[in-house]
Structure 1
Amino acid sequence: MLIYLEIALRLILAMCIGGGIGWERARRHHPAGIRTHMLVAIGAAVVMLLGGQTAGVFVGTANSDPARLGAQVISGIGFLGAGTIMKEGRSVRGLTTAATLWVVACLGLSMGAGQYAIAIGGFLVSMISLRMFKMPRYEISLLCSEQGCSLEELCKLLELEEANISNFSCRSYDAQWMKVRFELYLGWKQRDVSTSELLRQISSIESVSQVEIDAI
């Protein structure tokens, strides 16, 4: 049987791992943040600890496999991940956050089972994946004067090297303005372009007003 200190260590480490990945999501203003990821990791660790502690009680029965509880965590985490996925028009958000919740559950199970190297290694690789391979993606909406707005000028200004524009929509806002919305995907060379720089470039067009930029 595990001593209480070992149980506490596994739970605390699971909380730290979940919090680390949750921090990365929270700083980008995604739906599931630090507390959600912490709770998922802690809950998964508790389930794995419970399975290990009670395995001896059911020896010789169909319920003697401690991994069965962990398997239910992996299959059940889908409902939480589904809550972070949102579809707006032709774009889908939240897939990465849903994946991080699933990964955190797996890391929590590893920590609960006492597999520290697997849990910490998985955490480090996950953070590298989230931090290094994030390609900037922005949702941009603005008002454009119908008399002076040139969509070609706008596209030319934002067509940075390796960048792509998708989900472009344009509709009449009132007698003088059009509502323009699109998604901008920056390439590897533009991954350091800031939101303020994009705002400055778009605002430099005289016929553009009320620019809104959201990182997605």
Structure 2
Amino acid sequence: MSIGIIFLRLLVSAVLGGFVGIERENKKRAAGLRTHVLVCIGSALVMVLSEYLLHQYQGLTNVDPARLGAQVISGIGFLGAGTIIKQGISVQGLTTAASLWAVACIGLATGSGFYSAAIIAAVIVFVTLRSLGKFENVISSNDNSNVEVCVRIENKPGKLGEVASFIGSMGSNITSVDIEEDGDEYLIVSFILKLPKHTTKTDMIVQLQSLNGVSVL
């Protein structure tokens, strides 16, 4: 394999990784532009190395070029796990972890010289990250089942009961509550609510923000 081909494969992987990573960077995610570029380049390099080993030791031993690539797929899980944050019943970072995994696969395709698949996949991943989030919000706004609302309230006797009573007065049913201390003066409370018809999550948030000592997260 010539230096030119190696350079081209690594360069294309950097461009495609950056293409996906810039969307995560714009949204201020834990894994942004640089992380996605590095993951994609590293994955591409693994495939270049696999191809080199296949030709270098062909006939001397049984070399499986897919083994190194398989380790990339499994190993990227450790990096993706670092982007996932659990706060109460809310889990954040799953999409970023998935984008890292997808970028690793794009890097493997690029490193093997399968440019068409890598480019198509990068475009689809970018569109998914860029556009489907808005579509999810539209669906969520029309679905009143299991809506999550997270609030920060003063840690005073009766304050949590006041908030719960207010939610009930709006016709909403509390199906689950998760409480965490935020220092000595505040509580972080995550409610899972069943909202009545014609009441959206936005309506509930606006009403809760009108209460003294309550802020919606």
Q: TM-score, normalised by structure 1?
A: 0.70
Runs of at least 5 residues in structure 2 that lack an aligned partner in the other structure: 141-147, 194-200
Give the partner amino acid of 1:168. Answer: V
Q: Which residue of 2 is the match for residue 142 of structure 1? A: 152
| 8 Å CA contact retained: 1:143, 1:178 | yes
The residue type paired with residue 36 of structure 2 is H
Structure 2: distance between partners of 1:67 and 1:107: 15
Rounded Cα–Cα distance in structure 2 between residues aligned with 1:7 and 1:51: 12
1:168 aligns with 2:177: yes
Residue 87 (structure 2) pairs with residue 82 (structure 1): no
CA contact (8 A) 2:177 2:189 kept: yes
Is the aligned partner of 1:70 residue 2:48?
no
Pair 1:151-2:164 in alignment: yes
Cα distance change on mapping 1:153 and 1:131 into 2, 3 Å:
farther
How far is 1:90 from its partner?
Answer: 3.1
| Residue of structure 2 equivalent to 1:53 | 52
Secondary structure of the residue aligned to 2:74 is: helix
Is the partner of 2:6 in helix, strand or coil? Answer: helix
- Per-residue deviation at 1:7? 2.0
Report how far residue 27 of structure 1 moved: 2.6
| AA in 1 matched with 2:152 | L
What secondary structure sits across from 1:87 in the alignment?
Answer: strand
- Tell me, yes or no, if the aligned pair for 1:86 and 1:94 is still in contact at 8 Å: yes
Q: 1:172 to 1:41 in 2, by over 3 A?
A: closer
Paired residue for 2:206?
Answer: 201
**Separation (CA, whole Å) in 1 of partners of 2:47 and 2:186:** 56
CA, structure 1 residues 111+55, in 2 after alignment: closer, same or farther (shift >3 Å)?
same
**SS where residue 86 of structure 2 aligns?**
strand
For the 8 Å contact 2:44–2:112, the answer to whether it is kept is yes
Matches of 1:79 and 1:170, distance apart in 2: 29
Q: Which amino acid aligns with 1:33?
A: G
Amino acid of the structure 1 residue aligned with 2:111 = G
CA distance change for structure 1 residues 166 and 96 in 2, over 3 Å: closer, same or farther? farther
Task: For 2:27, give the aligned amino acid.
Answer: R
Mapping of 1:81-120 within 5 angstroms? 81-120=80-119
Identity %: 38
**Structure 1 residue 22: deviation in Å?**
1.9
Aligned to 2:43: 44
The verdict on how the C-alpha distance between 1:74 and 1:172 changes in structure 2, with shifts beyond 3 A counting, is closer
Unaligned runs of at least 5 residues, structure 1: 186-192
Query: Which residue identity does 1:182 align to in structure 2?
Result: S
| Number of corresponding residues | 195
Match of 1:23 in 2: 22
Structure 1 residues 62, 102: CA separation in 2 closer, same or farther (over 3 Å shift)?
farther
1:202 and 1:5 map into 2 onto residues whose CA distance is 62
1:26-74 deviations in Å (ceiling 9; x for gaps): 3333221111111110000111111222321111244433222212211
The 8 Å contact of residues 170 and 178 in structure 1, kept in 2 or not, is answered as no
- Counting helix residues as a fraction of each chain, which structure ranks higher? 2
Aligned to 2:91, the other structure's residue is in SS state strand
Query: Could you tell me which amino acid in structure 1 is paired with residue 164 of structure 2?
Result: L
- 2:205–2:216 contact (8 Å) kept in structure 1: no
SS of the residue 1:133 aligns to: helix
Give, in whole Å, the separation in 1 of the partners of 2:87 and 2:104.
27
Q: How large is the RMSD of aligned CA atoms in angstroms?
A: 3.8
Partner of 2:143: none
Partner deviation per Cα, 1:56-111 (whole Å, 9 max, x = no partner): 11112444332222122112212212222233333333222221111111100101
